[in-house]
Structure 1
Amino acid sequence: MDGSQVVALASVIVSPAGALAGVWLTSSLTARQRRRDQQDKYRDNALHGLARFMSLAIDANPSMVLSGDLREYTSPEDAIAGLYERWKVAREPLVLLAYSHPSDEVRRLAFDVQAGLELVLRRTDDLIKSNPDAEMRLGGPQTEYERFGDKARMLGALLKA
């Protein structure tokens, strides 16, 4: 076999292998990009759900509820009832995160954040029912609200990363 035949034979063998390697590499890179795109979509959905939840949290500030600053409600009692109904809907994305996110810390914080706001609403409601002049004893619910806010900020930072 002369040199030209060896080169021809080598090109016949190497050419399909190179083509297959190129196809495999392209396929692998495409799959990786799809995974990244899907992760970006999940992260964006989680951040959107947290943002909707936080808009509820702003209204659920115990000092605003007790002082009657929420104009869409006629009384603090009505505010608690309305906010609790909104909480039931707004918590769903966080519950999904709490059971499906790969990070233990995100799962824990997602659960704590949705449960924390429910605790704030319950404590504020208890305060309203126990004392008509509840603003004087605001410390408990307000402290819970601040603790909840800290956890929500931590969750947001983790989701952005």
Structure 2
Amino acid sequence: MRQRRWLELVKDYDCEILYHPGKANKVADALSRKSSATVMSMMVMDPRLRKEIEDFELEIVGGRLATMTVTPSIFEDMAMKQELDPELVKLKECVKEGKCPEFRLDENGRLLLQNRLCIPDIEGLRKQIMKEAHETPFTMHPGSTKMYHDLK
């Protein structure tokens, strides 16, 4: 039914509708990702100035002092923790020597097995990934099958 309403809306226009699969639509994918920054702000105004502005019945527009703390993303954390896992370090050497064709290194030096990231279980990284995927306030659980495929 919804498609019919859209068809009615665009039928009088000379347009071409192109479908972009999710993997090819990087812009929408980037916009739907969770932000990894924390912003704190503080409003500052001199009380005498505030009183004078109120006497003139003018609108008060306050300034803001803001700080932003950026923490390493979970992907950067994975690359660092891969270096702490002796088994993955050996596999990386094997890849560099060309002896492990099923593995490869991405542009950031992370180890991949058949285009899937190798996740070491160092310092609870796997648990952190599951928590990030399930419990953050910006995440909505899409269902067990889609969640499995996304994390896979």
Q: Give the TM-score normalised by the residue count of structure 2.
A: 0.26
Higher strand share: 2
Higher radius of gyration, 1 or 2: 1
Higher share of residues assigned helix: 1
